[in-house]
Each structure stands twice: as structure tokens, then as C-alpha cells.
Amino acid sequence: MITRWTGRVLDDQPALVRLAGLSVLALGDLHLLHRPDRPADWALALGGLAVCLASARVPLAATATLSGLLVADDVIGTNVGVPLKAMVAVALFELALRVRGRRVAYGAGVAAFFLTLHAVSAPAAEVPPTLYRLSVLLGVPLLIGAYVRLARENARQARERAAAGTLAARTAERTAIARELHDLVAHHVSSMVLRVGVARHVLPDTDPRITQVLDDLHTSGGAALADLRRLVAVLRDPAQVGDGPFFSLVDQAALPQTLREAAARVRATGLVVECAIGPEVAELDAVRAVTVLRLAQEGLANAAKHAGERAGVRMTVRVERDVVKLEIVDDGGRRQDARRVPGDGHGLAGMAERAGLFGGRFEAGPWGRGWRLYAELPPVSAQLPDTDAGVAA
């Protein structure tokens, strides 16, 4: 905990705050505890303070300069030795924290040389105790700075290992999903498309309505198969698209036409479908474009499965104040029983999750004798939803 707090103080706080705090402490000591007597004393103390404040940028030069100023204090005969020693300790700490290898050894060697000169300038009887105190002054800041630096490096490496492990797990998960999609779903869809194509050719004189249904099935199956293959490719190699899986599956400019085509496929099942799609929908960002399309496809599919015969469906997609609003309403058709939400599906939950990725709004429930689906998608924030979550949803 102490290391994390120290790291935050050194790295996360603005540099001006750190400089201001050190300045206040130094000036308070000079004013209250070790007040200089002469202008020369003040000049040496304030010069040392300026060098100390620069130690975060040039720790090696600051350490050498402050150690030299301590010897200059003995030569000139000023009385600011204690504040200068504290500044040397700060510079040594910054040196051990911010540099490594030979530069630390050079700085420690220069400081040891000047501190030894300072010790031998004392009376003979005081040289051993002075050397001991100065060795503590030299060693403790270096050890603390080195410890904090190593702790920060270990924490950074641990974060990198955790990130690498997470990335590897996600890659393995995407690969497994891609394999299942290819081997199971895509295989069956491909088989169905092939069989529908065969049926179209072996039934040349059948009812035109059946032929129309078979043609629609073949077209829809082929489109689904193409989307599956594209999704499998993205899952296996997300790097092939610049901004992740969200951005590869929908042509934003063609979104209005794609929505109309989705409505046309539902219209072919016998429902009466009306569309009102604003032209500004073509200018949506890629993330919301794919979300709008998936919500519309799921909502229309639910209407085709659960609405009554010859039901009327109205889909409205518009953008108001940069918020996308999607509404799909059906009148229930010729159903006489109450509409019920199927209990074994995940469509509504998935749609709610998609809207939730944007902090949006999603509603679905009975509407008269029919059903209403409504969603609002606000603008994409600076923090985009995780693309892996988007694919999973």
C-alpha cells in the first residue's frame, strides 16, 4: 500500500503540485528551523533549492551540484549545511528512482567524494561520526529510491503479464467460437442453401408462389452464409479490420437500404410492413449502425414469428439530437390470444444488452393486441464498448 501511494504521488500528481510542496517544506525549514544569517547564506540555500527542484529532470547533475554546494558551504563558511544535506538526500532518491546502471554509480560516487571532503573538514574527533552520518545520508535515499523503482517496474510487468494473459484468453475464445461457427452453423446453413437451390431446379412447374418462397430462401441463406464467413474471418484475425469486429459487418452509407431489405424479407412472409427511415441514418457511426441493424433484424423476425396472419408492422428509424430512435410496432394481425414472450429464447435479452452498451434505453412489451419494441442509442462516448463484448452480444 505504501508503494502504491508513493507511486501515485510521484507519477499521478501534477508536477507543479510536487514542486510547490517541496518548496513549501524547504522554505519553512529555512525560515523556522535553520534560518540563514547572511545574504550569502540565503543565496547558497536558495540556489541549492532551485537545483533540488530540478532533480526530477536531471537527477545526476543535481546530485553532483548539491554535493559540491555542501563542500562550498564549508569553504565559504555559511550556515546552511543541514538544509543542503536534506536536498542532497532528495536528489539521491530521485537519482535511484529515475535512472539505473552506471549513471546511478556515477552519481553515488560523486556524492560520496564530496561528502567525504565535507566530513574531513570537521575536527578530527568528529570525523568518524560524521562519516557514519553521511554514509547513512548517502545509502538510505539510494536504497529507498531503488526499492520504489523496482516495485513500480514489477507492478508494470505484472500488469503487462495480466494483459497478455487476458489477450491470449480472448484470442483462444474467439478462435473456439469461430471454429464452432464454421464447423456447425455455417456447415448447416450451407447445406440448407444447397438443398433449396436443388429444389428450385427439380420443381420447374410448381406454383409460382412456391418458387418465389424458394428464391427468397436461397437469397436469404446465401446472405446469411456470407455474413457468417465474414464474422468467422474477423473472429480469427481481428487485425484484418482497422477498428475491430464492429466496423466490418455493415456498410454505414447503405444502412437505410439494408434496413428496407430486412423489412422486405419479412414482408415476403405475408406481413404488411411499412418503413419510415430518416436519411440521417446513413451518417451514423459504425458502432451504432451495426447495432441498429441487429435490433431491427431481431425485432422484425420476432414480428414474423409471433404476430398473427396478415399483421401490420411499422418500423421507424430516425435520429433526433444525435440520438438514434428505433421503433417496431405490430397490430397483432388476426391473433385472438394475448401476445406472450417466448421463454426459451435470448433475443430480447441480447437486444437489451446491445442498447445497454451505449447507456441507451430499450423497451419491449404488449401494445394493444400487438407488440412494440423501442430503443434509443445515444452518441458513442469516448470510451467505446469492448469489441469482444459487442461480438458476443
What's residue 18's pLDDT? Answer: 62
What is the C-alpha to C-alpha distance for residues 382 and 54, in angstroms, rounded to an integer?
36
Per-position DSSP letters for 42-105, written without gaps between them: HHHHHHHHHHHHGGGT-HHHHHHHHHHHHHHHHHHT-S-HHHHHHHHHHHHHHHHHH--THHHH
Q: What is the CB neighbour count within 10 angstroms for residue 309?
A: 9
pTM over 0.85: no
Whether the pLDDT of residue 318 is over 80: the answer is yes
Confidence of residue 381 (pLDDT cuts 50, 70, 90): low
* Residue 368, CB-side half-sphere exposure with 13 Å CA sphere: 12
Identify the residue with better confidence: 60 or 344. 60
Strand partners for 371: 330, 366
What is the C-alpha to C-alpha distance for residues 38 and 81, in angstroms, rounded to an integer?
14
What's residue 340's pLDDT? Answer: 47
Terminal-to-terminal C-alpha distance of the chain: 38
**How much is the mean pLDDT over the chain?**
79
pLDDT in tens, 149-196: 999 899 999 999 998 888 888 888 878 877 777 776 776 777 777 777
Contact 330, 342 (CB under 8 A): no
For residue 315, give the H/E element and its range.
strand 312-320
What is the C-alpha to C-alpha distance for residues 183 and 106, in angstroms, rounded to an integer?
64
**Among the residues of the chain, which ranges form H helices?**
2-7, 15-28, 39-53, 59-76, 81-98, 102-120, 127-180, 187-202, 208-236, 255-267, 286-306, 347-356, 387-392
pLDDT in tens, 253-299: 889 999 998 898 888 778 899 999 999 999 888 888 988 998 998 89
What is the C-alpha to C-alpha distance for residues 168 and 158, in angstroms, rounded to an integer?
15
Fold classified for 251-393: Heat Shock Protein 90 (3.30.565)
CA 265 → CA 207, 215, 250, 271, distances in Å? 20, 11, 18, 10
Contact 350, 297 (CB under 8 A): no
Whether the pLDDT of residue 76 is over 70: the answer is yes
For residue 196, give the H/E element and its range.
helix 187-202
Q: What is the CB neighbour count within 10 angstroms for residue 23?
A: 14
Amino acid symbol at 223: A
Amino acid symbol at 159: R
Contact 370, 311 (CB under 8 A): yes
Domains of the chain by residue range = 2-162, 251-393
Confidence of residue 393 (pLDDT cuts 50, 70, 90): very low
Amino acid symbol at 208: P
Range from 98-102, 329-333, 336-340 carrying the lowest mean pLDDT: 336-340
Give the three-state DSSP class for 321.
coil
